[in-house]
Amino acid sequence: MLHDVLLSCLSLSCKGIGIKDFLSSKVVDVFLHPCERKIFTDILNILNYLNEIVRFAKYFGGVSNNITDFDEAEEFAAGFYLRNFANGIESALEDYYNEITLLEAFIMKNKPHSLIHIYNVLEKQLPCILFLRKLINDAKIQKLNGCKLLQSLYQNYDNGDYRIEQILLKVSKPVKLAFFSHLSHWMLFGVVDDEYAEFFITYRSTNENAVNNSSLTSSTHLTSVSEEEIWQYEINLNQLPSFVSSVLAEKVLFVGQTALIFKMDRSKQQNYKWSIKSQSSYCDAISELWDGKEAVFCKMIEDLHQEDMIDVFQLENVINQIKKHVSQRLSAIANVEDDLNRQMCLIKDFYLLGRGEFYMEFYRQLTENSESHLESTANYTRSFEIASNVMGISDDLENFSLSVIKTSIDLDETCEFENFQNLHLKYIYKWPLNLLFSPTTVERYNTVFRFLLIVRKLQYDLELVWANHKWAGKTPNPVNAKIMHFRNHLMFFLNNLQYYIQVDVLECQFSILMNVIKSKADFEEIQRAHSVFLANVLSQCFLLTDATDKKLNTTQSTCNSQYPVYGTFLEIFNVCEKFCLLHSGQNLPDGALKECDRLEERFNVSILGLIKLLNNLRSASSFGPLSQLLLRLDYNRWFSAEKKKANESS
């Protein structure tokens, strides 16, 4: 009878009933011979392990659930992947159930057998049971879910035990299904239906009131998306599996964002013009991207799931093929339809001050329209529009607009170059160049734009001071020679700094970027070259600080900047502006000479500190353009030697 009860409990385990009551009963101890108690204890231990596995699979699995309570449920991270993992555990137990069914049929022939016979059968299954228990405990202890759960399974491949490998394939198959389903939906349609944030591509909502940032993606992005929403998708490093490199993840993100761009409402794209060059018509927006190959790419991802194990090389190959197709399509549209060469030239003309004559007119209008520095911030937009009409380039500026964005940082509004920190030049680019001009990229351009505006505006103001001094030289009261000498030093510094930025940095880096574009490279190469171009410009202009790289807001950089070179620039800019304000009128105020002496002393200290910093940077790195800047600022060490003598004599 004891054997019948035991076998009944074992056979009923696949249905999820009977085992728990049997294990909690101690009545059977009375009927056991002392010689069999150790064997029976070992059997109970195996059944306890099995009970843990079965209860986990029944509770989290999606099949008929007879387990309504599970004490350790809160210790697991919920999600779709965990449910598939539980279903995989259930399927992995099928061999065990089949073995027990054969054992039950064998015992039911009423032949006498001891407990050792049952134990031998269970012991053969013990390694597999312990392995399944280990997988469950790993998921519980590390709170694994999503791609990290798949990574845990991937790391157990090739363990040398054929039976465990077969079990692992059964467990990982439904989990792989969830992964490749997410991958195909994102790459082919730009959709991440990911309620529990389990995929390594996630949607970060900027809405502070959003409770679940991932649930938004399943409904709002099936038809069309806005420009802002495209850049709210990013790589979730917490869910990035080890078999997917960060470079490969960037490619996956790029393909999905491209699909989203093709789903954008193009009625909002003012300059969008798409001409169909073939007789075949596209069914919808996504078809324009895939050109009828979406079924082929979908089949390639589906074939990855059919593989027994995750083939990393094959996965990379499929993603690279899809990315290559997307890059070529984007490159064709960007170069042929949108004239990318012209778009980049416009970027150079207005963000990088390539059209110097236009900005000189802008400064002239700004000076004439500003009655005082306190009112100057209200005149930037108007002066920008008037200058474009005067120069006759309104057509080129139709995609650009200048605005003043106030920040929470208190700036000295009497210091005009600090007011320039609030300027923001917006560029309305053509579809589908969205991937080239992300909000981060546009803000990087504005970082360089604001810096160049400051330099050119101070040059313009010093030229006006020069004109005033020239006029005063014809009067009975000419300007003191010491003041003119100091003015020439300020102009010398600004002219050489501006030449370094425009020629040694911008022209050099921009020509490299344009060579890549003209070589008809695919879109990924263009995107990479564009990112390198911006990074080099920011770095060589000493604007790539931690704050610039993370927040990309130059208004946070004041004269007390943590980055010493840029902070020294701002200190010298402040000296230049105070000097210009002091000499803006025809007649010099009282005490002008003493004030100039104080400004010159500040300038001497700053320029010596700047040259020292630049020399330290040059010796610590192979920064080629930096040598050009030092050569122009301190040729034969004349500048530093003169300032050092002036400081010692004072």
Task: Give 492-518 pLDDT, tens digit per residue.
Answer: 999 999 999 999 999 999 999 999 988
Average pLDDT on 348-358 reads 91
Examine the pLDDT at 125 and tell me if it is beyond 90.
no
Residue 215: pLDDT band by 50, 70, 90 thresholds? very low
354 and 324 in one domain?
no
**All residues at 6 or more sequence positions from 144 whose CB lies less than 8 Å from its CB, including other chains:** 77, 82, 138, 152
Is there a domain that residue 251 lies in?
yes
pTM: 0.77
178 and 81 in one domain?
no
Examine the pLDDT at 170 and tell me if it is beyond 90.
yes
End-of-domain residue from the set 337, 363, 378 = 337
354 and 323 in one domain?
no
Residue 131 pLDDT: 93
End-of-domain residue from the set 337, 369, 394 = 337
Residue 587 pLDDT: 66
Q: How far apart are the first and last CA of the chain?
A: 111
Residue 159 pLDDT: 76
**Coarse DSSP helix, strand, coil percentages of the chain, rounded to the nearest 5 percent:** 70, 0, 30
Is there a domain that residue 155 lies in?
no
453 and 578 in one domain?
yes
510 and 643 in one domain?
yes
Residue 300 pLDDT: 95
* 432, 261 contact by CB (below 8 A): yes
> Which of 200-209, 418-427, 500-509 is the least confident region?
200-209
Average pLDDT on 99-120 reads 74
Examine the pLDDT at 178 and tell me if it is beyond 80.
yes
Q: pLDDT tens digits, residue range 525-581?
A: 888 899 999 999 998 898 875 444 444 333 333 344 447 888 899 899 999 999 988
* 418, 376 contact by CB (below 8 A): no
Is there a domain that residue 439 lies in?
yes
Residue 427 phi, psi dihedral angles, 5° rounding: -120, 120
Range of 80-89, 115-124, 153-162, 268-277 with top mean pLDDT: 80-89
Q: Identify which has the larger pLDDT, 11 or 205.
A: 205
445 and 300 in one domain?
no
Residue 637: pLDDT band by 50, 70, 90 thresholds? confident
Average pLDDT on 402-415 reads 62
376 and 312 in one domain?
no
Q: pLDDT tens digits, residue range 578-614?
A: 998 888 766 666 777 888 889 999 998 898 888 888 8
In which domain, by residue range, is 213 found? 174-337
Give the chain's largest Cα–Cα span: 133
329 and 350 in one domain?
no
Helices in 18-161 by DSSP H: which ranges?
Answer: 19-24, 34-60, 80-92, 94-107, 115-141, 147-154
Task: Say whether the peptide bond before residue 478 is cis (omega within 30 degrees of 0).
Answer: no
Supply 533's token pair: 């171009």
Residue 567 to residues 422, 514, 545, 633: CA-CA distances in angstroms?
A: 18, 32, 11, 17
Examine the pLDDT at 244 and tell me if it is beyond 90.
yes
Is there a domain that residue 161 lies in?
no
Examine the pLDDT at 214 and tell me if it is beyond 50.
no
End-of-domain residue from the set 271, 303, 337 = 337
Is there a domain that residue 26 lies in?
yes
Examine the pLDDT at 339 and tell me if it is beyond 80.
no
HEC readout, 611-641: HHHHHHHHHHCCCHHHHHHHHHHCHHHHHHH
432 and 348 in one domain?
yes
Residue 406 gets which letter from DSSP?
-
Q: Identify which has the larger pLDDT, 584 or 446.
A: 446
Average pLDDT on 178-184 reads 94
Examine the pLDDT at 438 and tell me if it is beyond 90.
no
Residue 30 pLDDT: 65
Chain centroid offset of residue 640 CA: 43
Residue 216 pLDDT: 44
Supply 346's token pair: 């416009």
Phi/psi region, residue 438 (left: phi>0; alpha: psi -120 to 50; beta: rest), is: beta
**All residues at 6 or more sequence positions from 642 whose CB lies less than 8 Å from its CB, including other chains:** none
Across all residues in the chain, what is the average pLDDT? 79
* 61, 83 contact by CB (below 8 A): yes
* Share above pLDDT 70 across residues of the chain, in percent, rounded to a whole number: 76
Residue 206 pLDDT: 63
State the sign of the Cα–Cα–Cα–Cα dihedral 276, 281, 287, 291. negative
Is there a domain that residue 165 lies in?
no
* CATH code: domain of residue 383: 1.20.120.1900
544 and 472 in one domain?
yes
Residue 519 pLDDT: 85
Residue 280: pLDDT band by 50, 70, 90 thresholds? very low
Residue 26 pLDDT: 62
Is there a domain that residue 152 lies in?
no
Question: What's the structural domain count of the chain?
Answer: 3
**All residues at 6 or more sequence positions from 622 whose CB lies less than 8 Å from its CB, including other chains:** none
Is there a domain that residue 169 lies in?
no
Q: Which residue matches tokens 């469950």?
A: 136
Distance (Å, rounded) from C-alpha 489 to C-alpha 453?
20
Examine the pLDDT at 460 and tell me if it is beyond 60.
yes
360 and 236 in one domain?
no
522 and 454 in one domain?
yes
